[in-house]
Amino acid sequence: MGQSHRQRRPGDSGGPGPLSLPLSPNAFVNVGADAALDLDRPFTARLLASYRFPLGFDLTALFTHTSGAPWARSVTIFPPEAWAAANGALSYPVSVTLEPPGTRRLEATNVLDARLDKDFTLGVRSRLRLTLDVLNLLGSRSRILEGNDAGAWYPDQEGSGLGRRVLAPAFNLYTRALGTRVVQATLSLRF
């Protein structure tokens, strides 16, 4: 089975829809034919299973696997105002990728949620339902360490390596931490 490959052009992410801006710096820097698409998303797989035990107990479990989302280091460049004025351009910040999109991926996650419930008949028309939910049953932990140190770059002049670099404020800090196991019991009366 052959694969069709097409040549990527600047501003073309390889997929349909409005993705990269044409003629943006990202269209010319680090966006080769092997780079991830602009809309590349993590893979998610879910498996749902239910089982009815004797005495009317029902167990339902949901397992979710999510691969890590792709990312790449980027920097926001603030062109010098003198250069912008001399070239008839706006001194507007532009974000530029420093490596091919999808070079790095966030950590994958696996989460198992479970529910055990039982209905009790109280009379002709009344029912009592007891439900026990356990979210993140296996205690899966996930955290995201901000690895994009690029932040902002204020060059002194065009083509110069001199200027002021400001690191991203969240660099080397954890921006998200997940892993709480939650147990919740619910009692409901229907009549």
Tell whether 183 is covered by a domain. yes
Give the span between the Cα atoms of 135 and 132, in whole angstroms.
10
163-172 pLDDT per residue, tens: 888 888 888 8
Lowest-pLDDT choice from 41-50, 118-127, 170-179: 170-179
Tell whether 30 is covered by a domain. yes
187 and 172 Cβ atoms separated by less than 8 Å = no
Tell whether 18 is covered by a domain. no
Name which of 99, 76, 96, 56 is nearest 153 in CA terms.
Answer: 76
24-44 pLDDT per residue, tens: 666 556 666 666 565 567 789
Tell whether 8 is covered by a domain. no
pLDDT score of 141 more than 60: yes
Identify the pLDDT of residue 20.
42
Identify the pLDDT of residue 101.
73
pLDDT band at 183 (very low <50, low <70, confident <90, very high): very high
Tell whether 135 is covered by a domain. yes
pTM: 0.61
Torsional sign, CA 23, 24, 30, 32: negative
Identify the pLDDT of residue 61.
98
**Beta strands 74-77 and 152-155, pairing class:** parallel
pLDDT band at 14 (very low <50, low <70, confident <90, very high): very low
Identify the pLDDT of residue 37.
60
Residue 55 has what DSSP assignment?
G
101 and 38 Cβ atoms separated by less than 8 Å = yes
- Our count of domains for the chain comes to 1
Helices (H), 30-172: 81-86
| Token reading at 152 | 């902002």
Tell whether 5 is covered by a domain. no
pLDDT score of 21 more than 50: no
Calculate the CA dihedral of residues 44, 59, 177, 68 and round it to 10 degrees.
Answer: -10
Name which of 112, 98, 119, 96 is nearest 46 in CA terms.
Answer: 112
- For residue 170, the SS3 value is coil
Tell whether 7 is covered by a domain. no
Tell whether 51 is covered by a domain. yes
68-110 pLDDT per residue, tens: 888 788 888 888 888 888 888 887 888 888 887 777 888 888 9
Domain range spanning residue 171? 25-190
Collect all residues with Cβ–Cβ distance below 8 Å to 29 and sequence separation of at least 6. Answer: 96, 97
Residue 67 has what DSSP assignment?
P
